[in-house]
Amino acid sequence: MKSHSIPVLSGVVACVIWGLSVFYYKFLDQIPPLEILAHRAFWSMVFFSIILLFRRESSKVFENILNWNSFRVYILATFLISINWFGFIFSIQVNQVTQSSFGYFVFPIVAVFLGFFFNKEKFSPLQTLSIILAIIAILLLGIGLGKFPFISILLATTFGFYGLIKGRISHNPIISVATETTLIAPIALLYLLYIRLPYQGSGFSFGYSISELALLIASGLLTALPLVLFSNAVRSLRYSTVGLINYVNPTLQFLIAVFILAEEFGYTSFIAFFLIWIGLIFYSYEAFRLESDKIDKVS
């Protein structure tokens, strides 16, 4: 048990950082979300390059890019995670963090649904019930919001397809995401140079305040650090345990949205969240059961 305490702590800390990052991006809501995304992508590449340099694994990123089979998978993965990052930042700027949290709650059930269609995986009765509850919850959330829960669907589906694609890649998560940020970094840099060209005479900060520039640069560290911590947890813990730890992130987002940012949250939305939590309980129980059966068969 003691040997698992550090990986569990690493996973929890990573998810806490992701959850509390709502505050971080809230400080930058005066900057367009696409611009923040470009900074996050570029500076993430910088920090991942430093990490891999110390680990002497930089060459693996270029091996991924130069191999056509892995390159085309990474291009699609980069596209999906970029949209996901944008959706999260956008949700904060338009005061829809509740939708963001809902999207990340729904994601595990979306992953089961995608596994059925693309990997020919079979539903268990509890997984089927979880999917039905998720669909009902999405409809109720839309009714509660008075509009289609676009952000929730966007985050859940992009992250779901991202996970599906990444399942075909056997590389370490850090090397994997380093490859993705390396692919998008040149585009991000060109975009930043283009939109900041009018500010080139304003000094090294290109029109940003010192605090804004510092936060934008640190967004790379905010991406890299929790991923390093979480990858440490993934290597040492059971998949079902990692799945439960993952709920820390959207739970924090939800609590921040409702109790600190005071986003609207009526009875219909409450029922939607209640149903998805019930679905997640079923999903988590089934994940533990299936993994325990797998371990028993191996032993």
Q: What is the pLDDT of residues 107-149, one digit of tens each?
A: 888 888 888 888 777 778 888 888 889 889 999 988 888 888 9
- CA–CA dist 157, 84 (Å, integer): 9
**Domain range for 77:** 2-298
Which tokens sit at 36?
Answer: 């923040």
- CA–CA dist 239, 291 (Å, integer): 8
pLDDT higher at 95 or 232: 95
- CA–CA dist 248, 19 (Å, integer): 7
298 pLDDT above the threshold of 60: no
pLDDT tens for 74-89 read: 999 999 999 999 999 9
**Per mean pLDDT, which range of 16-25, 186-195, 233-242 is the poorest?**
233-242
Mean pLDDT of the 284-289 span: 79
Mean pLDDT of the 184-206 span: 82
Q: Where are the beta strands (DSSP E) in 88-155?
A: none
Predicted confidence band at 249 (pLDDT cuts at 50, 70, 90)? very high
Predicted confidence band at 151 (pLDDT cuts at 50, 70, 90)? very high
Predicted confidence band at 154 (pLDDT cuts at 50, 70, 90)? very high
pLDDT higher at 38 or 124: 38
**Per mean pLDDT, which range of 14-23, 123-132, 184-193, 230-239 is the poorest?**
230-239
Terminal C-alpha separation, the chain: 20
Which tokens sit at 227?
Answer: 């991923």
18-22: long-range contacts (C-beta < 8 A, 24 or more apart)? Answer: 18/226, 18/249, 18/252, 19/248, 19/249, 19/250, 19/251, 19/252, 19/253, 19/256, 20/252, 20/256, 21/222, 22/92, 22/97, 22/100, 22/252, 22/253, 22/256, 22/257, 22/261
- Count of domains observed in the chain: 1
199 pLDDT above the threshold of 60: yes
As to burial, measured by CB atoms within 10 angstroms (0-12 exposed, 13-18 middle, 19+ buried), residue 219 is buried
**Per mean pLDDT, which range of 96-110, 118-132, 192-206 is the poorest?**
192-206
3 pLDDT above the threshold of 60: no
Which tokens sit at 277?
Answer: 């939590």
273 pLDDT above the threshold of 80: yes
Q: What is the pTM of this model?
A: 0.89
Contacts of 34 (CB under 8 A, 6+ apart): 86, 191
Contact at 8 Å (CB) between 16 and 229? Answer: no
pLDDT higher at 100 or 166: 100
| DSSP at 294 | H
Q: What is the pLDDT of residue 282?
A: 87
Longest CA–CA span in the chain (Å) reads: 67
Predicted confidence band at 2 (pLDDT cuts at 50, 70, 90)? very low
**Which has the closest alpha carbon to 90: 143, 13, 37, 147?**
37
Q: What percent of the chain has pLDDT over 90?
A: 52
23 pLDDT above the threshold of 80: yes
Q: Is the dihedral of CA 120, 122, 127, 129 positive or negative?
A: positive
What's the mean per-residue pLDDT of the chain? 87
User: If you average pLDDT over each of 97-101, 197-201, 232-236, 283-287, which comes out highest?
Assistant: 97-101
